[in-house]
Structure 1
Amino acid sequence: MSLESVRAWLAEHAPDIAIIDQGESTATVADAARTLGVEPGQIAKTLSVRIDGRVVLIVARGDARLDNRKTKAAFGGRPRMLGADEVFELTGHRVGGVCPFGLATPIPVYCDLSLKDFAQVYPAAGSTTSSVMLTPERLAALVDAQWVDVCQPPMAEGAAEAAE
């Protein structure tokens, strides 16, 4: 049902954006990047979080991590990831296909500045095999998102290996 809600939402709000269904898993950032042939950072992951009792969606580049200090400064509280059942109940999308399009309930959407590192990004489109391609600015405009700075910069590959 989720893919259908995204398809209907895009038909109404952005009929020029095509859903890309690769027929292979795009459920994780690594799967999506490999399947779509792009950098992991270009995957626009949608995080479903609760901050002091309110639920928000934060869309960030795929290889970025939420920074608790920045998130608390931006939202006034520490973020807590929602469980899979609650994500589905509120968004209508299963984990692996969560996106800010075609939501089951109205949820405020925020886009992390990290998305602006790329000319094109690829958020999911409601299923574990589908996505769309668009500019970060168009993504934010379509879902009436506010821009925030709540992520840590991604580590360089060498730095990530050294940290392990």
Structure 2
Amino acid sequence: MTGLSREKVEQYLEKENYADRIIVLEDSSATVEEAAHALGCEPEHIAKTMSFLLDEKPLLVVMAGDAKVDNRKFKDRFHKRPRMIASDVVEKFIGHAPGGVCPFAVKENVAVFLDESLKRFKTVYPAAGDAHSAVRLSLEELEKLAHPKEWIDVAKGWE
């Protein structure tokens, strides 16, 4: 199903006139380090998308590659401790498999949030639906294409 996931992202970005920003990679981009190496950029420029369940509803938080979830900040914002979606059911909840999770072409009930840790960059690289692709976007383009509910501050380790 992973191939279909990238295909969905490609179709979505094509419709929005951003398909030319997709970068297909020979090397894996499943982790921040792998993606940075494959793209030739610093790890912090990778826009990693974290998948959580909150009251059995999926939510995504897109944050800088060098950031980590701050449990206290997350709980302050969402009134629950962060609970990541198990890797074997990520695709069921989000629509993308681990390594390719991105904030585009996700299932309808998925809430997307962008973390403040991204705001220090002009350009970021989220995944494009599988572990061998990414999308080069400005922050404004990411915000336009991801349709986030809002910008939040739930990360640490990047300040």
**3-state SS of paired residue (2:141):** helix
> Which of the residues 81, 102, 119 maps onto 1:99?
102
Structure 1: 4+ residue segments shifted above 3 A: 14-17
Listed as ranges, the gaps of 5+ residues in structure 1 are 156-164
1:148 maps to 2:152: yes
**3-state SS of paired residue (1:97):** coil
Distance 1:135 1:89 in 2: 29
**3-state SS of paired residue (1:85):** coil
TM-score (norm 1): 0.88
1:9 maps to 2:12: yes
1:108 maps to 2:111: yes
Distance 2:11 2:26 in 1: 20
Q: CA deviation at 1:149?
A: 0.2
Q: Which deviates the most, 97-106 or 116-125?
A: 97-106
Which one has the largest radius of gyration? 1
- Given the superposition, is the C-alpha separation of residues 99 and 12 from structure 1 closer, same or farther in structure 2, using an over 3 Å criterion? same
Distance 2:42 2:139 in 1: 15
> Which of the residues 50, 53, 63 maps onto 1:50?
53
Q: Match for 1:89: what amino acid?
A: K
Q: Which deviates the most, 62-71 or 96-105?
A: 96-105
Q: CA deviation at 1:16?
A: 5.5
Deviation track 1:35-68 (CA, whole Å, cap 9, x = no partner) reads: 1011100000000001233321000001100001
Identity of aligned residues (%): 44
**3-state SS of paired residue (1:93):** coil
**3-state SS of paired residue (1:138):** helix
Give the paired residue count: 155
Q: Match for 1:34: what amino acid?
A: H
Distance 2:91 2:130 in 1: 12
**3-state SS of paired residue (1:80):** coil
How do residues 2-151 of structure 1 correspond to structure 2 at under 5 angstroms?
2-15=5-18, 17-145=20-148, 146-151=150-155
When the two chains are superposed, the root-mean-square deviation of aligned CA atoms in Å is 1.5
Distance 2:22 2:93 in 1: 22
Deviation track 1:77-123 (CA, whole Å, cap 9, x = no partner) reads: 11101011221112221100100111134311000000011110000
Alpha carbons 1:114, 1:153 under 8 Å: kept: no
